[in-house]
Chains A and B, each alone.
Chain A
Amino acid sequence: MSTASDIVVGILFLVVAVSVTGQLMLYVSAAFEIRRIRQRDRHQLWRQMLTSPLAPRISVLVPAYNEEVTITDSVAGLLALTYPNLEVVVVNDGSSDETMARLIAGFELSPVHTAFQRVIDTEPVRQLYHSSVEPRLVVADKHNGGKADALNAAINLASGDLVCAIDADTLVASDALQQLVPPFLADSSTVAVGGTIRLVNGARANRHRIEQLVAPSNVLVGAQAVEYARAFLVGRLAWNPLGGNLIISGAFGLFRRQAVLDVGGYEHQSVGEDMELVVRLRRHAYEHGARAAVLFTPDPVAFTEAPDSIRMLARQRNRWFRGLLDVLVRHRRMIGNPRYGTAGMLAMPYFTVVEALAPVLEVLGTVLVIVGLTMGWIEVADLAPVLGAYLVGICATYLVLILDQVVFSTYRTTRDRLRLVGHVVFEQFVFRPTTAIWRLWGLKLFLEGRTEWGVQHRKGFASG
């Protein structure tokens, strides 16, 4: 039995050691990167230059499906962004609710002849609209084809050199675009730049702007707030210097339009279309001997509504996980292939081992511990690595929150921070293990070949 015990303890130790080492590496990288970005961007870098007539035109792409609650607020918020050379392209993806009617009424839309350059094939566009009150707004009403299809239609209609893909329920900080553009101006090989997403639940919004960010009182949303902070400030930022960024959130990211057109736009069949596009952009560049820089910059912030019910959250998480698996399977050729540089040798293996296998290992580990303790294969003293992993996890999460507080002052009252302290514990001991089960469910659905999105219900910002 001692052999079985040794094996179990050995596996536990190995998993914990790999996980902790990987995490520590990312934290160190993120710390250096945030220092570098703060040094570069302080003193209001580019503030004047982005008022230049030579500043690139940005088309904000808004795919909308059954977004009647938030659509007019979101579009009005986007039109109020301070970036000077802006266009907003809204694509109603065959909504069955009042989304289109609200847009027509809210922005005094008139139908115009449906002529545009269909570079990427999409479901047919029924009608184009222009607004008599807001010349920067273009609205298309099309047959339902999914988010990727709506985004592709919006890319066809866009006239900007840069396209900003956002979700219809996303609120964007007024100067966020100004902060996303500089990497494109500084390096012509930049194809995509992403910004931080924060959760809007409970925040006070006024005139399409977030007045004050409030720590969510709902533990489920609170745990997500903690998770988002960690994911964006470490998970994304750390990959910048390593050159391995593979994810630009679908809720807020800026892309070079021509690069997106060159790879054929978003993939209709993928539920993880945002990550899939980024991986394809990088893969395309490597295969054509070019360079495609994908960067994350933490300052520009967009706000989105997080699911606050277990059912919706479970659906979202299993969809995300299916998306990840889909991307890894589609681009499996890149994994460990030196032809694809750091993306192939570092990022793809990391996503495969740490992200894709994580739920399997977590659930397996928990089962092993319970069975091992029950059968007497392992002793409580042998659980030190597991407790150590929890300890590292908690300390790392707090370090992210401290960093967030010092650099960005995200939560400005003690009450908010006290709430967050509770959310950290909940996130570590309850939320994370639960998401592992949802992700396993996603794995099952993926193996069954299920690719549906599921329904999301919005509450709207005004009620926040």
Chain B
Amino acid sequence: MPTTMYGAESALVGFVFTDAITALGNLRILGTATAAMAVTYLVVGAVADLRRVMRRRRMAKLTAALSVVLFADEEVAAQAAERLVRIPASVLLPVLQGLAADLDGESDERLRNIVFVTGTTRAIVRRLRSRRWRRRVQAASLCPLLPAGDPARTVLLDDRHPIVRSRAAEHLEREDVARSAPRLLALLDDPSDAVRFAAQHALLQGDGRIIEPLADYLREADGPGVVWALEVAGTLRDPRLGPAVEHHLASEHVDRRAMAARSLVPTNDGLLRIRELLDDPEGEVRAAALAAIARPGGEALAAHVGRLLSDRSWKVRQEAGRSLAEMGPTGGLVLRIHLSDVDPYARDMARRVLDDLEAKGGRAVAPASIPRGLDPWEPDGGDHEAEERAA
């Protein structure tokens, strides 16, 4: 192609007539490639649609067959189970995986039976031992289908991959939690936050059965997992944990003191401990102690909680308000008394909590207005916005 030097007009003419073939050639390449990609996209889309429909049908059939096996009377269920034996484990596993966590009682027993009869147990065990972590992740959610008491059910708690460990903890059944409590408690020190959280979740599934190992752990351990164990204790709020938590109440670590405070129960000794913690120098600990009061038995400290409506920390004032709101009539009375508190912060919080209670359908209380210039939430003081609105 010659480089034209005859000015714009002739160059344009040159482009139109001389280079048209090159332009068309380039455009043809572009057009062909675009069309090819478009066709590929449409074909892939159609194939994906087809696969989705087929998978959905297969799953629907399988789920229907499984529901007969799980819920129909024994004779019908036995016939349906025979048909399931012919289905390969790779097809059965994803469906069983979804069911494993959601069944209990007789249906759970039947499901385990299907797993045994269809030879799926072997497939699960193979996955447990797989070198690929993705397969072990799948096995973790299928472990509950293995026979009760089988040590393989908890083997993945010690897996080298953190995602597998966390999945294994997440899917532990209640009886396994009780049996593996010490290992779960050890996982609270795991460097992976995901594993630690899963272990906490699993421990909470164990309810009363983990109290004893948890108490032992709280008495003896001193690692980073103690805070998380105290958080579990704070969620369980079992009075039997009181003695084990006791020495953490005097810990030099603020987070440990706060978590320990949350696990206290407002009865007898617990009430005394909470009262002491309400005077802790750290706001976080005072707030945690207030959270522990917000339940039956806490009314005994209502007047003390009322005083904390004037605390220097917003979090403590807020928690004090919440606790009083939870205390029913006693708390309501204290809140109303503080509507005329000399401290504007206390008045403000009391008024807010009572308004909240009223908005949520509780007892109606006429809000006391804060005198002009004393409203701490307005930088220049006063309720001037209300006046502006009125104007």
Residues in chain A within 8 A of chain B (CB atoms): 1-2, 5, 39-40, 42-49, 52-54, 109-118, 124, 126, 129-132, 135, 182, 185-188, 373-377, 379-381, 383-384, 387, 390-391, 394-395, 398-399, 401-402, 405-406, 409, 411-412, 414, 417-418, 420-421, 424-425
Question: Considering the chains assembled together, what is the distance between the CA atoms of A187 and B6 in angstroms?
Answer: 67
- B196-243 contacts to A, CB under 8 A, are 197-198, 200-201, 204, 231-232, 235
Question: Considering the chains assembled together, what is the distance between the CA atoms of A1 and B40 in angstroms?
Answer: 44
Closest 9 CB pairs of A and B: A112-B355, A130-B359, A376-B11, A380-B19, A398-B37, A376-B4, A110-B359, A186-B194, A115-B352
A–B Cβ pairs within 8 angstroms, 15 of them: A49-B170, A54-B232, A109-B359, A130-B359, A132-B361, A185-B194, A186-B192, A373-B11, A373-B15, A380-B19, A390-B30, A391-B33, A405-B44, A417-B45, A421-B38
Q: Please name all residues of chain B whose beta carbon is closer than 8 Å to the beta carbon of A374 when the two chains form the complex.
A: 8, 11-12, 15
B355 in contact with A113 (CB, 8 Å) = yes
Q: Please name all residues of chain A whose beta carbon is closer than 8 Å to the beta carbon of B37 when the two chains form the complex.
A: 394-395, 398-399
Q: Please name all residues of chain B whose beta carbon is closer than 8 Å to the beta carbon of A131 when the two chains form the complex.
A: 359
Question: Considering the chains assembled together, what is the distance between the CA atoms of A417 and B30 in angstroms?
Answer: 20
Proximity string of chain B (1-42) to chain A, C-beta cutoff 8 Å, 1 when within and 0 when not: 101111010011011000100110011011001100110111
Q: Does B122 contact A (CB under 8 A)?
A: no
Proximity string of chain B (128-159) to chain A, C-beta cutoff 8 Å, 1 when within and 0 when not: 00000010011001000000000000000000
Q: Does B356 contact A (CB under 8 A)?
A: yes
Partner of A384, one of B14, B26, B235, B378: B26
Question: Considering the chains assembled together, what is the distance between the CA atoms of A425 and B98 in angstroms?
Answer: 42
Q: Please name all residues of chain A whose beta carbon is closer than 8 Å to the beta carbon of B356 when the two chains form the complex.
A: 112, 130
Partner of B198, one of A49, A375, A383: A49
Partner of A375, one of B11, B232, B351, B367: B11
A126 in contact with B389 (CB, 8 Å) = yes
Q: Please name all residues of chain B whose beta carbon is closer than 8 Å to the beta carbon of A421 when the two chains form the complex.
A: 38, 41-42
B15 in contact with A380 (CB, 8 Å) = yes
Q: How many inter-chain contacts with C-beta < 8 Å in the A-B complex?
A: 173
A380 in contact with B97 (CB, 8 Å) = no
Q: Please name all residues of chain B whose beta carbon is closer than 8 Å to the beta carbon of A39 when the two chains form the complex.
A: 134
A411 in contact with B45 (CB, 8 Å) = yes
Question: Considering the chains assembled together, what is the distance between the CA atoms of A111 and B5 in angstroms?
Answer: 79
Minimal Cβ-Cβ distance residue in B for A116: B377
Q: Does B360 contact A (CB under 8 A)?
A: yes
Question: Considering the chains assembled together, what is the distance between the CA atoms of A124 and B383 in angstroms?
Answer: 11
Which of B46-54, B107-115, B176-184 lies at the interface with chain A?
B46-54
Minimal Cβ-Cβ distance residue in B for A108: B359
B197 in contact with A54 (CB, 8 Å) = yes
| Given A48-B101, A387-B26, A394-B37: A115 touches B377 (CB 8 Å cut-off) | yes
Question: Considering the chains assembled together, what is the distance between the CA atoms of A126 and B238 in angstroms?
Answer: 44
A376 in contact with B377 (CB, 8 Å) = no
| Given A43-B137, A115-B348, A380-B1: A53 touches B204 (CB 8 Å cut-off) | yes
Residues in chain B within 8 A of chain A (CB atoms): 1, 3-6, 8, 11-12, 14-15, 19, 22-23, 26-27, 29-30, 33-34, 37-38, 40-42, 44-46, 48-49, 52, 97-98, 101, 134, 137-138, 141, 163, 167, 170-171, 192-194, 197-198, 200-201, 204, 231-232, 235, 314, 318, 348-349, 351-352, 355-356, 358-361, 367, 377-378, 385, 389
Q: Please name all residues of chain A whose beta carbon is closer than 8 Å to the beta carbon of B200 when the two chains form the complex.
A: 52, 54
Minimal Cβ-Cβ distance residue in B for A417: B45
B30 in contact with A391 (CB, 8 Å) = yes
Mostly helix, strand, loop or mixed at chain B's interface? Answer: helix
A113 in contact with B352 (CB, 8 Å) = yes
B349 in contact with A376 (CB, 8 Å) = no
Q: Please name all residues of chain A whose beta carbon is closer than 8 Å to the beta carbon of B12 when the two chains form the complex.
A: 373-374
A398 in contact with B38 (CB, 8 Å) = yes
B361 in contact with A112 (CB, 8 Å) = no
Contacts beyond the supplied A2-B3, A373-B12, A409-B52: 9 A-B pairs with Cβ under 8 Å: A44-B98, A113-B352, A113-B355, A115-B351, A118-B377, A131-B359, A186-B194, A374-B11, A398-B40
Partner of B201, one of A48, A116, A182, A425: A48
A402 in contact with B33 (CB, 8 Å) = no
Question: Considering the chains assembled together, what is the distance between the CA atoms of A303 and B44 in angstroms?
Answer: 25
Q: Please name all residues of chain A whose beta carbon is closer than 8 Å to the beta carbon of B197 when the two chains form the complex.
A: 49, 52, 54, 185
B367 in contact with A113 (CB, 8 Å) = yes
Minimal Cβ-Cβ distance residue in B for A373: B15
Partner of B359, one of A112, A182, A188: A112
Minimal Cβ-Cβ distance residue in A for B169: A49
A402 in contact with B23 (CB, 8 Å) = no
Minimal Cβ-Cβ distance residue in B for A54: B200
Q: Please name all residues of chain B whose beta carbon is closer than 8 Å to the beta carbon of A116 when the two chains form the complex.
A: 377
A394 in contact with B33 (CB, 8 Å) = yes
Question: Considering the chains assembled together, what is the distance between the CA atoms of A420 and B37 in angstroms?
Answer: 12
Q: Please name all residues of chain A whose beta carbon is closer than 8 Å to the beta carbon of B49 when the two chains form the complex.
A: 409, 412, 414
B23 in contact with A375 (CB, 8 Å) = no
| Given A113-B352, A130-B356: A5 touches B3 (CB 8 Å cut-off) | yes
Q: Please name all residues of chain B whose beta carbon is closer than 8 Å to the beta carbon of A373 when the two chains form the complex.
A: 11-12, 15
Q: Please name all residues of chain B whose beta carbon is closer than 8 Å to the beta carbon of A379 when the two chains form the complex.
A: 1, 3, 19, 22
Q: Which of B45, B137, B389 has the most CB of A within 10 A?
A: B45
Minimal Cβ-Cβ distance residue in B for A50: B201
Partner of B5, one of A1, A52, A126, A390: A1
Q: Please name all residues of chain A whose beta carbon is closer than 8 Å to the beta carbon of B14 when the two chains form the complex.
A: 376
A185 in contact with B193 (CB, 8 Å) = yes
B1 in contact with A381 (CB, 8 Å) = yes
A124 in contact with B378 (CB, 8 Å) = yes
| Given A116-B377, A376-B11: A394 touches B194 (CB 8 Å cut-off) | no
Question: Considering the chains assembled together, what is the distance between the CA atoms of A113 and B141 in angstroms?
Answer: 49
**How near does chain A come to B389, taking the closest CB pair, in angstroms?**
7
Partner of B167, one of A45, A384, A394, A424: A45
B6 in contact with A424 (CB, 8 Å) = no
B23 in contact with A380 (CB, 8 Å) = yes
| Given A110-B359, A405-B41, A409-B48: A117 touches B314 (CB 8 Å cut-off) | yes
Q: Please name all residues of chain B whose beta carbon is closer than 8 Å to the beta carbon of A387 when the two chains form the complex.
A: 26-27, 29-30
**How near does chain A come to B373, taking the closest CB pair, in angstroms?**
16
Q: Please name all residues of chain A whose beta carbon is closer than 8 Å to the beta carbon of B389 when the two chains form the complex.
A: 126
Question: Considering the chains assembled together, what is the distance between the CA atoms of A40 and B136 in angstroms?
Answer: 12
Question: Considering the chains assembled together, what is the distance between the CA atoms of A377 and B3 in angstroms?
Answer: 7
Partner of A124, one of B48, B194, B385: B385
